[in-house]
C-alpha cells in the first residue's frame, strides 16, 4: 500500500496508558492509516530509531488570544511537541468585543494576564465584534498548530452589559442575551466558556473583573446552553487557589456541573510555602463527587511556579484593596502612591490579616533579580526580607523605597508555590487532577511555562521515575482530549488525526528562559525553547524537524461540535 509517510523503528507510546511497543506508524491523508506491523511505500520515511512516538501533546490552558494575531507558530508551545491548544481561559480574551470597548477588554488582559497594553491594542487586529466573527477571522489565518477557543465570560458580560459589567449582576433580559450569544458561539465552534471569581483578578483601574459579578442565575443559564448543545466544557479560576475550597465555591462547582452536564476544570491546586499541603483539603472535598460521576476536576502543574515582576504592573498584589489605585496609572501617579505613608500603612494592615491571594507576606520568597542603578547591584539575588534586615526597615518600606529609587524598573522573582517535590508528585499522580496550567501566552514578561510536557517528561519520568512514560504521555494526550471531547486526537489508533511527536526521553527537556524583543513594537518577552523533540507532526505534515520549522502551517481552528 502507498502512504504519505511511514515512521519506522519507533518506540510507540499510544496515549492509552498501555505498555509501549516497537513498530511502524503509517499516515495517509492526514490520518493514522496503520500502526504496528506496517509495510508499504511512502512519499516520506522517518527512521525513529531511539525515539518515542506519541500523540501530539494537548495544552488546554493557554492565553494566546492576542498572540495568535501576530504569531502563527504560537511560540513557545509549538517547540514542546504541543499540537493542539485551547485559549480564552480565566474569563478573559479578545472576543466578543464591541469596537468602543476594545480598550477596556484589553485592560482586563493587562491586569489578569500581564500582557502589555500597547501590544494588545496595536498588535491585535480586532477585526470582529461577535464571537462567531472572531472564529471566522481566526480561520483565515495561517496556523502551525490546532486551536480551540473558550468564550471568556468577562468579555461576554461587557458585550451585553457594557460599562455596567464590572459593577452588577445581569438583569433577566441581559441573561437571555448572554445565553443567546453563547449559543451562537457554541454553534460556531466554541469549546465552552470560562470565568474567574478570583479576588486577584481585577479589571480596568482596579475594578473587579467582570466575571466576578456574575450571579448564579447568569451562570446557570449559560450552563444550560452547554447542556442544550451537548458539547463544550467550563473552566473557572476560584478564589481558593491554595486548595481551601469554600462551601460557596463547592456549591458553584456543583451548580455548573449539574446544570451543564459537561466537564469542568477549576484552578488551581498548588502547594504553597505559606500553606503546605493545603490542597489536600480541596481534593478530599471534591473526591466523593468525582467518584460519583461529577466531572469537576481541579487543575495542577508539574512545575514550580516562578514569576518575574515589576511594580509598574503590580499583579502580585492585585488582591489587596490598598493596591487598587496602583493599576493602569501613569508612572508619576504610581510613584506618588508608593511614597504615600497612608498607602504603606494600609498595605501593612492588610498583610496582618493575610488578605492576599498570590502574595500573603512571603518576603523570603520575593527576590531582586534586576536593578538599573550600579549601587543596587549588591541587592541582586537577595530577598526583600534580607534587604529589609540590611536597611533596618519594615519589608514594605524596603520594597517601595527601592522601587522608587529605581524609578519602577526593579525586577523581582516570586517563587512561593510548587517548590516541594513531594507535594507536586502527590498532585500530578492523583487521578482526579487534570494536568495543565501552563498559562502559555500570558505573563509574557514575567514567566514562561509553556514547556509543561517537556518538563514532565524530563523531571518526573526521566529524572525521578515518579510517573511511567506511558502514564505521563496519557496525562498529556488522551486525558485532555477526553476532557475537551477531542474524539480524533490524543491516541495513536487507525483513523485518528495524525498529530504526533517524536522525542528522545534521554534528552527531552525545556531550555533555560530567554529574553527576546519580538512582540509588536519591539516589546520584550520571555520564551522557552526545548531540547530532545525530534519531530512534530500536525495533520500528517512535519511541522518541526529537530527544532527547525518546515515552513508549513497545517493547524486548524477546531470545532467543538465535531471535535
Looking up residue 72, the CATH number of its domain turns out to be 3.20.20.140
Output the CA torsion sign for 21, 24, 487, 153. positive
- 242 band by pLDDT with thresholds 50, 70 and 90: low
Q: Look up cell 450569544; give the residue.
A: 181
What are the grid coordinates assigned to 96, written together?
A: 466578543
Which 8-state DSSP code applies to residue 562?
-
**Angstrom distance (rounded) from CA 123 to CA 110:** 14
Asked whether the beta carbons of 491 and 15 are under 8 A apart, the reply is yes
Cα 341 to Cα 47: distance, rounded to the nearest angstrom: 67
Q: pLDDT grade, residue 563 (50/70/90)?
A: low
Per-residue pLDDT, averaged over 44-63, amounts to 98
Enclosing H/E stretch for 236: strand 233-237
Domain-terminating residue out of 466, 499, 525: 466
Q: Is the pLDDT of residue 17 over 80?
A: yes
Residue 189 has pLDDT above 60, yes or no: yes
Do 146 and 280 reside in the same domain of the chain? yes
Reported as a pLDDT band with limits 50, 70 and 90, residue 310 is: confident
pLDDT digits (tens, 9 = 90+) for 261-298: 999 999 989 888 778 898 999 999 999 999 999 999 99
Q: How far apart are CA 312 and CA 308, in angstroms?
A: 12
519 near 116, Cβ under 8 Å? Answer: yes
Which conformational region is residue 172 in: left (phi greater than 0), alpha (psi within -120 to 50 degrees), or beta? alpha
Q: Are residues 223 and 195 in contact, defined by beta-carbon separation less than 8 angstroms?
A: no
Nearest residue to 283 (alpha-carbon basis) of 117, 430, 185: 430
Q: Distance between CA atoms of 161 and 155, rounded to whole angstroms?
A: 10
What nine digits make up the cell of 390?
540590611
| Same domain? 462 vs 376 | no
Average pLDDT over residues 192-203: 87
Do residues 219 and 324 share a domain?
A: no
Q: Which cell numbers in the block locate residue 549?
A: 520549522
Same domain, 294 and 337: no
Contacts 24+ apart (CB under 8 A), 467-475: 467/428, 467/429, 469/13, 469/20, 469/52, 469/505, 470/13, 470/17, 470/18, 470/19, 470/20, 471/17, 473/13, 473/15, 473/52, 473/54, 473/55, 474/15, 474/16, 474/17, 475/428, 475/435
Q: Which is more confident, 121 or 542?
A: 542
> What is the band of 103 on the pLDDT scale with cuts at 50, 70, 90?
confident
252 and 342: one domain? no
pLDDT value of position 191:
98
pLDDT of residue 240: 56
User: For residue 72, what pLDDT band results from cuts at 50, 70 and 90?
Assistant: very high
Number of structural domains the chain divides into: 2
Tell me, yes or no, whether 480 lies in a domain: no
Q: Are residues 228 and 354 in the same domain?
A: no
Contacts of 466 (CB under 8 A, 6+ apart): 425, 428, 429, 460
Give residue 461's pLDDT. 98
| Residue-level pLDDT at 239 | 64
The pTM score is 0.90
Write down which residue in 466, 486, 501 finishes a domain.
466
In the structure, what pLDDT confidence band is assigned to residue 223 with cuts at 50, 70 and 90? very high
Round to whole Å and give the CA distance between 60 and 64: 11
In this prediction, residue 354 carries a pLDDT of 66
Rounded to an integer, what distance in angstroms lies between the CA atom of residue 462 and that of residue 458? Answer: 5
379, 327: one domain: yes
Residue 244, pLDDT score? 72
- On whether residue 274 sits in a domain, the answer given is yes
* Same domain, residue pair 121 and 168: yes
165 in any annotated domain: yes
Q: Cell for 60?
A: 488546554
Structure-model confidence comparison of residues 362 and 24, the more confident one: 24
pLDDT the model gives residue 355? 64
Residues 108 and 181 in one domain: yes
Exposed / middle / buried, residue 355 (Cβ in 10 Å: 0-12, 13-18, 19+): middle
What's the pLDDT tens digit per position in 415-439?
878 889 999 999 999 999 999 999 9
- Residue 13 within any structural domain of the chain: no
The residue range of the domain holding 325 is 308-416
**Pairing mode, strands 151-152 and 192-196:** parallel
108 and 189 assigned to the same domain: yes
Quote the pLDDT of residue 445: 76
Tell me the C-alpha to C-alpha distance, in Å, between residue 23 and each of 7, 43, 49. 9, 19, 10
Residue corresponding to grid cell 462547582: 253
Query: Which carries the bigger pLDDT value, residue 117 or residue 499?
Result: 499
Instruction: Tell me the average pLDDT of the chain.
Output: 93
pLDDT at site 444? 82
Confidence of residue 512 (pLDDT cuts 50, 70, 90): confident
Q: What tens digit of pLDDT does each residue of 126-180 get? A: 999 999 999 999 999 999 999 999 999 999 999 999 999 999 999 999 999 999 9
Residue 227 belongs to a domain: yes
Q: Residue 346: inside a domain, yes or no?
A: yes
Question: What DSSP character marks residue 220?
Answer: H
CA–CA separation, 432 vs 288, rounded Å? Answer: 10
Model pLDDT, residue 112: 72
Same domain, 431 and 411: no
Whether 494 is in a domain gets the answer no
Q: Which of 382, 416, 450 is the last residue of a domain?
A: 416
Q: Is residue 187 part of a domain?
A: yes
DSSP helix/strand/coil, 515: strand
C-alpha cell belonging to residue 476: 498529556
Please give the pLDDT value at position 278. 87
Structure confidence at residue 243 (pLDDT): 58
Q: How far apart are the C-alpha atoms of 210 and 187, rounded to whole Å?
A: 24
- Per DSSP, what are the bridge partners of residue 10? 23
Give the pLDDT mean for 39-66: 96
- Residue 270 and residue 352 in one domain: no
Examine residue 76 and say whether the peptide bond preceding it is cis (omega within 30 degrees of 0). yes
Amino acid at each position: 500500500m502507498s502512504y504519505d509517510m511511514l515512521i519506522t523503528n519507533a518506540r510507540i507510546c499510544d496515549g492509552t496508558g498501555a505498555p509501549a511497543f516497537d513498530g511502524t506508524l503509517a499516515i495517509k491523508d492526514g490520518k493514522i492509516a496503520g500502526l504496528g506491523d506496517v509495510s508499504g511505500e511512502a512519499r516520506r520515511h522517518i527512521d525513529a530509531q531511539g525515539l518515542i512516538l506519541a500523540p501530539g501533546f494537548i495544552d488546554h490552558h493557554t492565553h494566546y488570544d492576542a498572540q495568535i494575531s501576530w504569531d502563527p507558530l504560537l511560540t513557545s508551545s509549538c517547540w514542546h511537541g504541543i499540537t493542539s491548544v485551547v485559549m480564552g481561559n480565566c474569563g478573559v480574551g479578545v472576543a466578543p468585543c464591541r469596537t468602543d470597548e476594545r480598550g477596556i477588554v484589553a485592560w482586563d488582559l493587562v491586569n489578569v494576564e500581564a500582557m502589555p497594553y500597547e501590544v494588545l491594542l496595536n498588535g491585535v487586529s480586532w477585526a470582529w465584534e461577535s464571537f462567531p466573527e472572531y472564529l471566522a477571522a481566526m480561520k483565515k489565518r495561517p496556523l502551525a498548530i490546532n486551536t480551540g477557543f473558550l468564550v471568556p465570560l468577562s468579555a461576554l458580560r461587557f458585550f451585553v452589559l457594557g460599562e455596567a459589567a464590572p459593577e452588577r449582576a445581569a438583569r433577566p433580559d441581559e441573561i437571555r442575551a448572554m445565553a443567546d450569544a453563547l449559543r451562537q458561539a457554541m454553534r460556531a465552534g466554541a469549546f465552552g466558556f470560562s470565568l474567574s471569581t478570583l479576588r486577584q483578578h481585577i479589571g480596568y483601574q482596579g475594578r473587579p473583573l467582570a466575571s466576578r459579578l456574575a450571579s448564579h442565575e447568569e451562570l446557570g443559564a449559560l450552563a444550560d446552553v452547554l447542556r442544550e448543545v451537548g458539547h463544550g466544557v467550563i473552566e473557572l479560576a476560584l478564589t481558593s487557589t491554595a486548595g481551601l475550597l469554600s462551601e460557596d465555591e463547592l456549591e458553584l462547582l456543583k451548580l455548573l456541573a449539574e446544570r451543564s452536564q459537561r466537564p469542568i476544570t477549576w484552578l488551581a491546586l498548588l502547594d504553597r510555602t505559606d500553606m503546605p499541603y493545603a490542597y489536600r483539603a480541596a481534593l478530599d472535598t471534591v473526591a466523593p463527587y468525582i467518584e460519583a460521576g461529577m466531572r469537576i476536576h481541579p487543575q495542577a502543574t508539574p512545575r514550580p511556579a516562578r514569576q518575574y515582576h515589576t511594580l509598574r504592573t503590580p499583579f502580585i498584589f492585585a488582591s489587596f484593596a490598598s493596591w487598587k489605585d496602583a493599576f493602569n496609572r501613569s508612572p508619576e501617579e504610581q510613584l506618588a502612591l508608593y511614597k504615600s505613608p497612608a498607602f504603606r500603612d494600609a498595605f501593612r494592615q492588610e498583610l496582618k490579616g493575610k488578605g492576599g491571594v498570590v502574595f500573603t507576606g512571603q518576603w523570603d520568597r520575593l527576590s531582586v533579580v534586576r536593578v538599573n542603578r550600579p549601587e543596587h547591584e549588591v541587592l541582586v539575588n537577595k530577598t526583600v526580607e534580607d534587604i529589609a534586615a540590611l536597611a533596618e526597615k519594615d519589608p514594605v518600606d524596603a520594597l517601595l523605597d527601592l522601587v522608587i529609587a529605581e524609578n519602577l524598573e526593579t525586577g523581582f522573582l516570586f517563587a512561593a508555590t510548587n517548590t516541594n517535590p513531594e507535594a507536586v508528585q502527590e498532585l500530578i499522580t492523583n487521578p482526579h487532577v487534570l494536568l495543565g496550567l501552563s498559562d502559555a501566552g500570558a505573563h509574557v514578561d514575567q514567566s514562561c511555562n509553556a514547556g509543561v510536557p517537556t518538563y514532565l517528561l524530563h523531571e518526573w519520568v526521566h529524572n525521578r521515575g515518579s510517573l511511567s512514560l506511558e502514564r505521563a504521555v496519557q496525562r498529556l494526550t488522551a486525558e485532555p482530549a477526553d476532557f475537551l471531547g477531542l474524539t480524533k486526537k490524543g491516541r495513536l489508533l487507525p483513523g485518528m488525526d495524525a498529530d504526533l511527536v517524536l522525542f528522545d526521553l534521554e534528552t527531552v527537556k525545556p531550555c533555560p528562559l530567554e529574553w527576546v524583543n519580538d512582540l509588536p513594537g519591539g516589546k520584550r518577552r520571555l520564551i522557552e525553547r526545548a531540547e530532545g523533540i525530534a519531530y512534530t507532526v500536525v495533520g500528517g505534515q512535519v511541522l518541526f524537524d529537530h527544532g527547525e520549522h518546515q515552513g508549513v502551517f497545517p493547524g486548524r481552528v477546531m470545532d467543538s461540535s465535531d471535535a
